[in-house]
Each structure stands twice: as structure tokens, then as C-alpha cells.
Amino acid sequence: MVAENIDELASYVAEELTKLSLDSVKMNGSFSLALSGGSTPEELYTLLSKEPYSLLIPWKYVHVFWVDERCVPPDDIESNYRQINDELLKRLEIPFENIHRIQVELGHKQAVSLYQRELQEFFRGSEPEFDLVILGVGKDGHTASIFSDSNYTEQVGNYVSFTMANYENRPGMRVTLTFDAINSAKNVIFMVSGSEKAEIMKKIFHDKQKQFPASYVSPSKGSLKWVLDREAAELL
Ligand code: 6PG
């Protein structure tokens, strides 16, 4: 799907999220949602925090997880928890126990094992079938906090991992869902915006060798959607 601009892109994803959450709550009584940090989803989070989405989405039954976290305190400007809390969660009526953040302030190893346990408990020992995972893509083709040098092919069997990365002066140490977790999801949506992403989009879509982490996202049973704006899609 190619949207005209970031506003249309955010509206499209907000509509999808609304439909999926209503269906899932009707069928199973809850909706598990894993969200990414970064600048691309900011419009979406702001949109979701306001009417009509603040009323339409059954937030009381939505369980929010983080796709990845940067190893900084939870009130740090670079924290993905801080971002999503400020832009979305604190504006909504959502029960505290529905917020499943990655506790990186305890150290990356402890954060990995606690988050892994949190997933096990929530998904009752089965693979983490998130109802929806929202992903972004970096200019280098990374997604979540899985970078080209993250040894992701060796992470098989784990749902959470840590990595060290250099990207745009953002904090290097990260904790992330692995491809095993992402690819177990029922729905995955990539959001990509801006002309600075056009080159990597061209490479990912024409990449037969799977050179980039984002190319490894391929839900085994679920659906995958790429939602780009016109600028990000200009070389496709
Ligand atoms: C993070 C994100 C990361 C992000 C991409 C794209 O913590 O940085 O979760 O995976 O989605 O880096 O970031 P932008 O949307 O800022 O381009």
C-alpha cells in the first residue's frame, strides 16, 4: 500500500489496528500489540491517542509490548518506553497491567530474561503470537533492533535478544524481539516514510540474497503488509 504522505500512512494503519483489535477482542477477549520506537510511527501514536481512535479501540483489552528498547533509563529522551508512553499510553485509559515494557534499566541480560519470561507467561508457554507487530526500517535495512551484524541467524529458538549497534547516534545497546518472535505474529505491518528510505526500499524489494534484516520478516502463518508513503516508494 502506498499512501500519499505520512498522515495518510498513519490513518491507514490506525484503521487496520482498529479493525484487528475489535475482531481480536471479540474472538479472544484481548489484543496483543507490539510497537516500535523511532520517528516514523509518531504520527500514528498521536492519532491513536485522540478521538475517534481513543474511543473506538477497546484499549482496556489491549496489551502493549515493545518490539525493542534502547538501554537507557525509562524516562530518557531516547527510551522507546518513554516515547510510546508520552505519545500514546498516558493519554488513554489502559490498565497498568496491560503495559509490558522491557526493563532495560536492570541491565540488558536481566531485561532479556525478564521479557522472555513475560512473553512466556502472556502466551502461556506457546510461541508469541502477537495479534499485531508494527515495525520500522532503518536506512541500513535494520528492523526492530536487528542489524546486519546482529548474528540474527544464530538467534533461532529465542524470542528476545540483545545487540550492540551504531545507528544515527542513537543508543547502541538494545534489547529486541527476534525474528522467531516477529515471524510468529498473526499480523505484521511495516511503516516506511520519507525519501531517505527510498534507496533501501529499492534494495529490499529487489534483494534476492536477503542481505538486509528487514528481508527476514516473513510471518509463518500470519499476514505481512508494507505501508509506504510516496516518497519512500519513489524508486520502486
Ligand atoms: C528504534 C526502532 C527501530 C526503528 C528504525 C526506524 O528503537 O530505533 O524500534 O527499529 O523502527 O530505526 O526508525 P525511524 O522511524 O526513526 O526511521
Specify if 82 maps to a domain: yes
Choose among 61, 71, 9, 60: nearest CA to 37: 71
Specify if 236 maps to a domain: no
Specify if 234 maps to a domain: no
Specify if 108 maps to a domain: yes
Specify if 208 maps to a domain: yes
Choose among 94, 99, 183: nearest CA to 146: 183
pTM here is: 0.97
Specify if 38 maps to a domain: yes
Domain limits for position 205:
2-229
CB 38 less than 6 A from any atom of ligand 1: yes
Q: Which atom of ligand 1 is nearest to the CA of 67?
A: 9
Residue whose CA lies nearest to ligand 1 atom number 12: 138
Q: What does each of the 236 residues of the chain score in pLDDT, given as a tens digit?
A: 999 999 999 999 999 999 999 999 999 999 999 999 999 999 999 999 999 999 999 999 999 999 999 999 999 999 999 999 999 999 999 999 999 999 999 999 999 999 999 999 999 999 999 999 999 999 999 999 999 887 765 666 689 999 988 888 888 899 999 999 999 999 999 999 999 999 999 999 998 777 899 999 999 999 999 999 999 999 99
Sorted by sequence, the CB contacts under 8 Å of residue 87 that are 6+ apart come out as 42, 45, 46, 49
Query: What is the rounded CA–CA span in Å between residue 149 and residue 165?
Result: 8
pLDDT confidence of residue 153: 59
Residue whose CA lies nearest to ligand 1 atom number 7: 37
CB 68 less than 6 A from any atom of ligand 1: yes
* Ligand 1: centre distance to CA 110 (Å): 23
Residue whose CA lies nearest to ligand 1 atom number 8: 38
Q: Residue 22 sits in a domain of what CATH number?
A: 3.40.50.1360
pLDDT confidence of residue 1: 96
CB 70 less than 6 A from any atom of ligand 1: yes
Give the count of domains, the chain.
1
